[in-house]
């Protein structure tokens, strides 16, 4: 029988360049979340390592089977008897490529689901920052929904947030909750973080769990923080600040059904012609 309520905890980190230290930090915060009543704990993108230099990254990461940090987190989930979603770890899949992989770990310590980040953050920002995730990471090609005791959870990571079609697919495939573990830059976070997360919640009628990296990291990168837990109605139930810590919120699953009955937009999708095939009359109509 599906349980109807639970408490979620979102962990905020400022991951550095040493995996062992990052794992110690996240384990301490997961324990804090459990002490505060969390049944499900979600950690940010790049929980294990924040490293931009390609050579250094590949010198430190391993394949999944040899990842000691992942093994420790699986052991912790079993010890605490909690579901833990590791927002992402960098996992080596060849000498030249890694994946940005999210893990759902069950209370028995076993990995129940994996999701590889689909959308790569390749961008030049106005402040001079430049990111080329596709140089080091192979994008995933599958949307993933995983079962939790309280419903179905869609897994996404950071830049995926800007691609609303993915969230629509997850919701229409049965997702009740969607995770968005992130490491938003300071610039993009200040501009778009809150509005995008609230929009994804409203569009899908899902709870959104968005733990974040926050602060100035050892490599000099500044991330926005402000982890959020958002209701299906778009209300912010909990928000973090800029420093490492934990936020929690009580989740009433019945709110999903109630919200979708009030705004049943998931049932109202219609097909329409591709504008490129409609000729100049259609384009003039749009511009008039």
Our CA angle for 182, 188, 190, nearest 5°, is 100
Catalytic residue among 10, 14, 51, 117: 117
In 10 A of CB 161, how many CB atoms?
Answer: 23
In 10 A of CB 223, how many CB atoms?
Answer: 27
Catalytic residue among 14, 45, 74, 92: 45
Our CA angle for 175, 178, 179, nearest 5°, is 150
Active site residue 190: no
Contact 208, 164 (CB under 8 A): no
Active site residue 27: no
Taking Cα atoms as reference points, which of 148, 194, 146 lies closest to residue 170?
A: 146
Contact 26, 73 (CB under 8 A): yes
Taking Cα atoms as reference points, which of 190, 240, 213 lies closest to residue 51?
A: 213
Active site residue 117: yes
So which residues are the catalytic ones? 45, 117, 158
């Amino acid at each position: 029988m599906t349980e109807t309520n639970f408490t979620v905890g979102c962990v905020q980190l400022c991951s550095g360049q040493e995996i062992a230290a990052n794992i110690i930090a996240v384990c301490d915060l997961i324990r804090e979340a459990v002490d505060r009543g969390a049944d499900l704990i979600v950690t940010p993108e790049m929980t294990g390592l924040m490293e931009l230099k390609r050579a250094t990254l590949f010198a430190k990461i391993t394949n999944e089977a040899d990842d000691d940090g992942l093994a420790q987190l699986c052991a912790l989930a079993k010890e605490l008897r909690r579901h833990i979603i590791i927002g992402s770890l960098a996992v080596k899949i060849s000498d030249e490529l890694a994946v940005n992989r999210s893990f759902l770990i069950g209370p028995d310590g076993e990995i129940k689901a994996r999701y590889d980040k689909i959308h790569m953050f390749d961008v030049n920002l106005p402040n001079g920052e430049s990111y080329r995730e596709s140089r080091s990471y192979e994008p995933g090609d599958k949307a993933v929904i995983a079962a939790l005791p309280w419903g179905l959870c869609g897994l996404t990571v950071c830049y995926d947030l800007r691609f609303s079609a993915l969230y629509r697919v997850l919701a229409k495939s049965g997702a009740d909750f969607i995770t968005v573990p992130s490491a938003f830059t300071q610039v993009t976070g200040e501009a778009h973080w809150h509005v995008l997360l609230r929009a994804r919640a409203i569009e899908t009628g899902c709870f959104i769990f968005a733990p974040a990296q926050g602060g100035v990291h050892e490599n000099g990168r500044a991330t926005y923080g402000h982890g959020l837990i958002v209701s299906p109605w778009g209300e912010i139930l909990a928000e973090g600040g800029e420093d490492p810590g934990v936020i929690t919120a009580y989740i009433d699953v019945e709110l999903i059904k109630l919200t979708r009955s009030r705004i049943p937009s998931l049932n109202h999708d219609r097909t329409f012609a591709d504008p490129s095939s409609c000729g100049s009359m259609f384009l003039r109509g749009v511009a008039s």
